[in-house]
Amino acid sequence: MAIRAKLTTEQDLKADRSPKAGEKPKREISDEEKAKRKERVAAAKDALARSVGVKGEHVATARASLKLYLQRLNEPRQPDDAQFEALLEAPFKVPPKKKTNDRRF
């Protein structure tokens, strides 16, 4: 007995490409968003490269947050412009010292 190959129709192919139940459709990214993303990636990589020789306790956490930003580029929630600028400045800006309640002289 010969085995016949199943022929797929054009409708079957379209059904395979359509989103399944419970899946989100692919998000379309505009050219403006792509350009903004490229600028942000370049700025984040530049900040990482410049912060290599910087010393301080705050530098390691700031560099880790920049790396985490680069890893999570495709996630829907991205920081706004003010948060992103703070993220870029973090390795170079020394945080203010904490005040203590110690009043000894």
Task: Give the whole-angstrom CA distance, residue 70 versus residue 38.
Answer: 11
Report the chain's mean pLDDT, rounded to a whole number. Answer: 81
Task: Give the whole-angstrom CA distance, residue 63 versus residue 76.
Answer: 22
- State yes or no: pLDDT of 45 exceeds 90: yes
**More confidently predicted of 19 and 49:** 49
Please, are residues 56 and 92 in contact by the beta-carbon 8 Å criterion? no
Structure confidence at residue 71 as a pLDDT band (50, 70, 90):
very high
Place of tokens 């530098």: 59
Rg (CA), the chain: 25
Q: For the whole model, what pTM was predicted?
A: 0.63
pLDDT (0 to 100) of residue 93: 82
Lowest mean pLDDT among 16-20, 39-43, 59-63: 16-20
